[in-house]
Amino acid sequence: MSVIIVTKRCYLTCERVISIVIEETHADSESNDNERSWTFLGRKVVEPKPKPPGYLITVLYVPEVVAAITKNANLFGNQASQCSMEIYVSNEEDAFALFTEMVYEIQEQSPNDLYLDKLVAKVLKGA
């Protein structure tokens, strides 16, 4: 059974979703010396513009193709069969709306215990 997530920002088809996380990003945590451009003599050429603070939604999932291969041949370990997708959203309201929409789509396609559904709904309404 596959899971499909369709939003304005993504279309994802996978065997199953392992986790979905939303986190706040900060401009100063994104920039470091490795992202800067330098000349051969060590002089700074271009300073990259820092990203504005925003929100990063990360989905960890098992792709359909890898799931089919591992069922038949056991070629990959658990780590090799996982992929991730990241969506950057600059507005807090849009980020939580997108996150909520994605969680509801996952819930509809993979029904859980009634208690867990109520718990997730309570958390999303409080966010």
Tens of pLDDT, residue by residue over 47-87, are: 656 667 899 999 999 888 765 665 655 555 545 578 899 99
Asked if residue 28 is part of any domain, the answer here is no
Residue 30 reports pLDDT greater than 50 = no
Report how many domains make up the chain.
1
pTM above 0.75, yes or no: no
Residue 91's domain comprises: 3-23+57-126
Give start and end residues of each alpha helix (H) in the chain. 27-30, 64-73, 92-109, 114-126
Q: In angstroms, rounded to a whole number, what is the distance separating the alpha carbons of residues 12 and 60?
A: 11
Task: Find the mean pLDDT for residues 81-97.
Answer: 90
Q: In angstroms, rounded to a whole number, what is the distance separating the alpha carbons of residues 75 and 27?
A: 40
Asked if residue 29 is part of any domain, the answer here is no
Asked if residue 65 is part of any domain, the answer here is yes
